[in-house]
Amino acid sequence: MKNYCCIKFKQRNSEQSLETCIFSAPVGELLNWVTIPSLSPERKDGIQRARNDFRVRGITKFMVEDERNIIPTAIVIALSNDVFKISNDVVTGLHTLEIDESKSAEALVIDGQHRLYGMNAYNPNTVVPVVAILGASTDEKAFQFIVINNKVSKVSPDHIRALTINCSDQELETRLRSARLSLSRQVSYVGWANEVEGSPFKGLLSLPDIAEENRWIIPASIESSIAYIQSKNMRAIEDEDMLLDFFLTLWNAIKKNWGNAFSKDCKLLSKVGLTCMNQFVVDAIEFIVNYSEEEIDLSNEEDVTKCVEKVLKTQQEDFWLATWTITISDTRSVRDQITDAMKQIQQNIKYKSQWATDVNLIDKSA
């Protein structure tokens, strides 16, 4: 049994309204006695969405980035009648919530699963506030999940500015950027790609504050590549954080497998090269996800990496290192020629021909 000191209250004075209580607990301890069932082919009664690795990692990184960072938002759980007992403490006027840990299936997380996972990865002893809905039926749990998860809206940039008008802009800006937010409309995916830990492009963007010798990549190539992913409207990519993480995971896999091509002055990292490669891989991943019998989760870093590696097996790193018959430029004609060459390489590898056969971009005399 686990005991927690709590405040119990009823939000509405009606017989149908359930009681709730508020208490605090370490995330690691909570995960020992709550259940986070997800809808899946095997589990039809789950209410939570599948675990999103990108979101979990983002929360962990947020906690690691700055010792001042906290997440005060409460975890919401729903408790069936047979999993808890609650008693009055006459001395303090508070209550004691007693949890039967053996009945974790009856203690469901309604909101905050990714916060639990992310903060647990940071430190299992991290304490979080918890709001428990007492005596919730299965229908009530599902209803609360739908309502809570569909009533959240983002704060507008103008509202953020108004809230911070009396704050130290520079210090606050630094913290906000570590959390992938900003007071400035100019900070975008380009800034994050250049600054986020684990980004393959970190410190390599052609920006004013980057040393001249490290300006490998034109910012517009990042913007256009992310815009292309956004245009695909992939279901698993629900928000800006996930979009950025998907993009960075994709290019981390390319960098890991094609280390020679991922270098300064290589055609792969030119604006047209990065854009064409990004589009080719994204299109291929979309095809794999839509037509593969295997379950692929694009919010899962491992699944995305495996997809990229599968696509890279149909291509050749040496293509980007070879001498070409054309001058690199970001024009429609050059983009079309690069895309056609990549399709030809794909065919050559599939049918076990020499990869450069009929690839007209390759300067055979070089």
Q: What pLDDT, in 10s, does the model give residues 260-298?
A: 999 988 999 999 999 999 999 999 999 999 988 888 889
User: Does 41 score more than 50 pLDDT?
Assistant: no
Distance (Å, whole) CA 20 – CA 79: 10
Q: In this structure, what DSSP letter does residue 260 have?
A: T
> In this structure, are 204 and 337 located in the same domain?
yes
In which band, very low, low, confident or very high, does the pLDDT at 91 lie, cut at 50, 70 and 90?
low
Q: Which domain holds residue 100?
A: 2-150
Same domain, 77 and 211: no
Which has more pLDDT, 144 or 118? 118
Output 33 or 236, whichever has higher pLDDT: 33
Are residues 35 and 128 located together in one domain of the fold? yes
Question: Does 199 share its domain with 341?
Answer: yes
pLDDT category, 232, cuts 50, 70, 90? very high
Residue 15 shares a structural domain with residue 101: yes
pTM of this structure: 0.67
Average pLDDT (47-63) is 80
Residues 318 and 209 in one domain: yes
pLDDT for res 51 = 78
With a cut of 60, say whether residue 235 has pLDDT above it.
yes
Q: In percent, how much of the chain has pLDDT > 90?
A: 58
Please give the pLDDT value at position 195.
Answer: 85
Q: Is the pLDDT reported for residue 178 higher than 70?
A: no
Which single residue is written with the structure tokens 């990496």? 305
List pLDDT tens digits, range 134-171: 999 887 887 787 777 665 545 555 555 555 555 555 66
Predicted pLDDT at 126: 97
pLDDT of residue 157: 54
Lowest mean pLDDT among 82-86, 116-120, 150-154, 253-257: 150-154
* Domain end residue (candidates: 126, 150, 174): 150
More confident residue, 154 or 186: 154
**Encoded tokens for 225:** 């590549």
Max Cα–Cα distance, the chain, nearest Å: 92
- Helix/strand/coil for 89: coil
Pairing relationship of beta strands 75-79 and 127-134 according to DSSP bridges:
parallel
The answer to the question of residue 227 being in a domain is: yes
Lowest model confidence (mean pLDDT) among 31-40, 77-86, 125-134: 31-40
Average pLDDT, the chain: 86
Residues 18 and 142 in one domain: yes
Residues 319 and 205 in one domain: yes
Q: What is the pLDDT of residue 161?
A: 52
pLDDT per residue over 189-224, tens digit each?
888 898 888 899 999 998 888 888 999 999 989 999
Per-residue pLDDT, averaged over 17-39, amounts to: 89
229: tokens are: 């992913």
Give yes or no: residues 197 and 344 share one domain: yes
| CA distances for 299 relative to 58, 221, 254, 277, angstroms | 12, 23, 18, 21
Identity at 352, one-letter amino acid code: K
Asked if residue 160 belongs to a domain, the reply is no
Which sign does the torsion angle of CA 267, 270, 276, 282 carry?
A: positive
Q: What percent of the chain has pLDDT over 70?
A: 85
Residue 316's CB is within 10 A of a number of other CB atoms, namely 20
Q: State how many domains the chain has.
A: 2
Closest to 18 (Cα-Cα) out of 72, 66, 78, 75: 78
Same structural domain for residues 6 and 74?
Answer: yes
